[in-house]
Amino acid sequence: MRLPISVRSGLRGWVRRLGFELSRRHSDQWLQQIPVATIIDVGSNIGQFAARARLLYPDSQIYAFEPLADCFAQLSHRFSDDKKFTGFQMALGAAEGTSTFHRNDYSPSSSLLEMEQLHEQTFTYTRDHSQVSVPVRRLDAVLPELELKPDVLLKLDVQGYEDRVLDGAQALLRQTRVVISEVSFEALYKEQAQFDDIYRRLTDAGFRYHGNWEQLFSPVDGRVLQADAIFLRP
């Protein structure tokens, strides 16, 4: 007997979600074996990654960077009782200054880069956006304000701006053991870095690619658009 299309579609979705959860649990278990003491969360939004990192590394120091005022307020409130959390309301890039930030009504899709049509067409809830001015710093310039205890984990989720953040974090990278970076396999933002560029930059810096933590699938045809790639220093 052939199941109805709606049932088959529902089963595929359930299997995919189950696979995603199992994959995430395995990745969490593996990452917990690395003695991370300092976490630098770039593109923290309202603290989704930071909250998960706190569960994995309960004694670590977390430094979180988020430029949007309302998201930063929620982030700060979320960790207001966490004595090992410090937030910075700023964007990070390759140079110091101010820049136009493309604020999306779906805040996790906000970026210093303009959105490509592929993004808007694939995720229609991201079509509405506005512009705000935000301060931009180099991560290396902020280092004097941070206490880096080994091992250091750097997480990047800045919607296509990862290459510029890395350009401004060369000194930090030399002290970093783990990088978890969002990477794209198709251009979702204009002039964005894609997987090949991030892979080259980090392998040139002495890291090795060790697979993905999570992946983003297109709801249109199921292809992988983005992933959170894990890079380790041997």
Q: How many CA atoms lie within 13 A of 12 on its CB side?
A: 9
Q: Looking at residue 161, what is its pLDDT?
A: 97
At 106-127, the pLDDT tens digits run: 999 999 999 999 998 888 988 8
Mean pLDDT over 85-103 rounds to 97
| Confidence class for position 232, pLDDT limits 50, 70, 90 | very high
At 198-229, the pLDDT tens digits run: 999 999 999 999 999 889 999 999 999 999 99
**What is the full DSSP assignment across 181-211?**
EEEESS-SBTT---HHHHHHHHHHTT-EEEE
Q: Please identify, in words, the CATH class of the domain defined by 36-232.
A: alpha beta
Q: How many CA atoms lie within 13 A of 51 on its CB side?
A: 11
Are residues 47 and 62 in contact, defined by beta-carbon separation less than 8 angstroms? no
Q: Looking at residue 16, what is its pLDDT?
A: 44
Q: Looking at residue 56, what is its pLDDT?
A: 95
Q: Looking at residue 129, what is its pLDDT?
A: 84
Assess whether pLDDT exceeds 90 at residue 2: no
Q: Where are the alpha helices (DSSP H) in 32-100?
A: 48-56, 69-78
CA distances (Å), origin 153, targets 13, 47, 65: 32, 16, 14
Provide, for the chain, the percentages of residues in helix, strand and coil under a 3-state DSSP scheme, each rounded to the nearest 5. 35, 30, 35
Range name among 24-33, 63-72, 73-82, 144-153 with the lowest pLDDT average: 24-33
| Confidence class for position 25, pLDDT limits 50, 70, 90 | low
The single-letter DSSP state of residue 139 is H
At 137-175, the pLDDT tens digits run: 999 999 999 999 999 999 999 999 999 999 999 999 999
Assess whether pLDDT exceeds 80 at residue 13: no
Q: Looking at residue 23, what is its pLDDT?
A: 53
The single-letter DSSP state of residue 122 is H
Please report, rounded to a whole number, the percentage of residues in the chain having pLDDT higher than 90: 79
The pTM of this model reads: 0.88
Are residues 167 and 94 in contact, defined by beta-carbon separation less than 8 angstroms? yes
